[in-house]
């Protein structure tokens, strides 16, 4: 039954007339690549297993929407507005689900959390999930225009990272807004995207979520929660961590993390080779004064670099400067590293 419905939806979507076509605006008031990123696309594989529509790793099994993520949980407090992607009528609203702090399983009965559904006519319905409790600004039966605020991103429903799950369906069948058709395999024919050209949305195989230097160990939990808790190094002997958080890596890609002393000379370098496709990838290197043949950090401005390679070619490079602290009074006169 699933394959029959999907195939029929593909044919309809691929031959839309102007009267029943739809053109979508942004579902979230954010800047792609800066304040938000796409972490998961519609699962293009109708059977077991998951691939995005470009046969990449940015999907999971039976994922039926597009996930517009914020960089970390702390960003929720800034209040990112969820927007109607096309004119229509609100047909469903949930606004009383708790913001649980990313502790519910995705298969929870209320996995969508606080949500809005909008009927756009001609069989089109859009869905917006994981909104903040009490933030929904519309009511059932209300007419909305493209770009009207529906609510704000929260942490309700079954999710483990801060994002808006956006889905578009036609006559109940999922349609991938990046292909204009229902999923029938990542190598299947595609129609035109549903996004308005002004959104400038396109497939991004990899994206930088965060990069920095920290005095505390950059566990995935901390990196996901709040980049500001990854505080600057403190102390003349304390370890320093250079960390990188990426979306979308594939087998054979690689990452190099480096650190440079105040004179610009590299004193640490490590190459990480990715051995399997991953949606989320986190790497770090730990640095100590011994990496510079010292017992204490030389005061001054240091720098770190992250480089990401695909098929051996550099596709991303980021640099960050950081200052290691001057010795505390009790350190002065204790000794010198020469």
Mean pLDDT of all residues in 287-300: 93
Q: What is the pLDDT of residues 177-187, one digit of tens each?
A: 999 999 999 99
In a domain, residue 336? The reply is no
Looking at residue 20, its pLDDT comes to 77
Domain-ending residue, one of 199, 218, 250: 199
Looking at residue 111, its pLDDT comes to 87
Residues 184 and 212 in one domain: no
Judge whether residue 173 has pLDDT over 60.
yes
| pLDDT band at residue 225 under the 50/70/90 scheme | confident
Which residue from 20, 19, 65, 21 is spatially nearest to 42, judged by alpha carbons? 65
Looking at residue 103, its pLDDT comes to 67
In a domain, residue 337? The reply is no
Residues 187 and 220 in one domain: no
Residues 10 and 155 in one domain: yes
Judge whether residue 317 has pLDDT over 60.
yes
Residues 158 and 268 in one domain: no
Mean pLDDT of all residues in 198-208: 94
Residues 191 and 50 in one domain: yes
In a domain, residue 261? The reply is yes
Judge whether residue 201 has pLDDT over 90.
yes
Domain-ending residue, one of 199, 220, 248: 199
Write the CATH number for 194.
Answer: 2.70.70.10
Looking at residue 226, its pLDDT comes to 78
Q: What percent of the chain has pLDDT over 90?
A: 75
Residues 182 and 231 in one domain: no
Q: Round to whole Å and give the CA distance between 335 and 338.
A: 9
* Least confident window among 1-5, 154-158, 224-228, 330-334: 1-5
Supply the range of the domain harboring residue 18.
Answer: 2-199
Q: What percent of the chain has pLDDT over 70?
A: 87
Residues 172 and 277 in one domain: no
In contact, 29 and 83? CB cutoff 8 Å: yes
In a domain, residue 21? The reply is yes
Q: What is the pLDDT of residues 26-82, one digit of tens each?
A: 999 999 999 999 999 999 998 888 999 999 999 999 999 999 999 989 999 999 999
Residues 145 and 217 in one domain: no
Domain-ending residue, one of 183, 199, 215: 199
What pTM was computed for the model? 0.86
In the block, tokens 């007419």 appear at 143
How does the average pLDDT of the chain come out, rounded?
A: 88
Residues 58 and 193 in one domain: yes
Mean pLDDT of all residues in 79-104: 92
Judge whether residue 335 has pLDDT over 70.
no
Residues 55 and 165 in one domain: yes
Domain count, the chain: 2
In a domain, residue 303? The reply is yes
Looking at residue 5, its pLDDT comes to 31
Residues 149 and 185 in one domain: yes
Looking at residue 104, its pLDDT comes to 61
* Least confident window among 2-6, 149-153, 232-236: 2-6
In a domain, residue 225? The reply is yes
In a domain, residue 320? The reply is yes
Write the CATH number for 215.
Answer: 2.60.40.2550
In a domain, residue 56? The reply is yes
Q: What is the pLDDT of residues 204-221, one digit of tens each?
A: 999 999 999 998 899 888
Residues 214 and 134 in one domain: no
């Amino acid at each position: 039954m699933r394959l029959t419905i999907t195939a029929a939806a593909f044919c309809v979507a691929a031959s839309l007339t102007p009267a029943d076509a739809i053109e979508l605006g942004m579902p979230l008031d954010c800047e792609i690549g800066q304040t938000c990123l796409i972490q998961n696309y519609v699962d293009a594989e109708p059977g077991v297993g998951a691939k995005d529509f470009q046969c990449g790793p940015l999907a999971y099994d039976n994922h039926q929407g597009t996930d517009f993520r914020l960089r970390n949980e702390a960003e929720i407090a800034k209040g990112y507005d969820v927007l109607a992607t096309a004119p229509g009528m609100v047909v469903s609203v949930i606004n009383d689900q708790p913001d649980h702090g990313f502790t519910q399983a995705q298969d929870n009965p209320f996995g969508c959390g606080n949500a809005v559904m909008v009927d756009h006519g001609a069989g089109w319905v859009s869905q917006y999930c994981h909104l903040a409790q009490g933030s929904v600004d519309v009511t059932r039966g209300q007419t909305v225009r493209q770009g009207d605020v529906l609510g704000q991103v929260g942490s309700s429903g079954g999710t483990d990272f801060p994002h808006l799950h956006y889905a578009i369906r036609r006559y109940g069948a999922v349609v991938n807004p990046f292909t204009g058709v229902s999923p029938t395999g990542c190598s299947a024919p595609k129609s035109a995207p549903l996004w308005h050209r002004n959104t400038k949305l396109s497939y991004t195989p990899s994206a930088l979520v965060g990069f920095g230097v920290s005095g505390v160990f950059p566990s995935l939990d901390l990196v996901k929660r709040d980049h500001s808790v990854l505080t600057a190094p403190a102390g003349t002997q304390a370890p320093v961590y250079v960390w990188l958080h990426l979306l979308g890596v594939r087998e054979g890609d690689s990452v190099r993390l480096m650190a440079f002393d105040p004179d610009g000379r590299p004193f640490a370098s490590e190459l990480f080779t990715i051995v399997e496709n991953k949606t989320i990838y986190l790497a770090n290197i730990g640095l100590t004064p011994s990496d510079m043949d010292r017992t204490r950090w030389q005061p001054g401005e240091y720098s770190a670099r992250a480089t990401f390679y695909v098929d051996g070619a550099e596709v991303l490079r980021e640099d960050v400067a950081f200052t290691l602290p001057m010795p505390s009074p009790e350190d002065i006169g204790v000794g010198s590293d020469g």
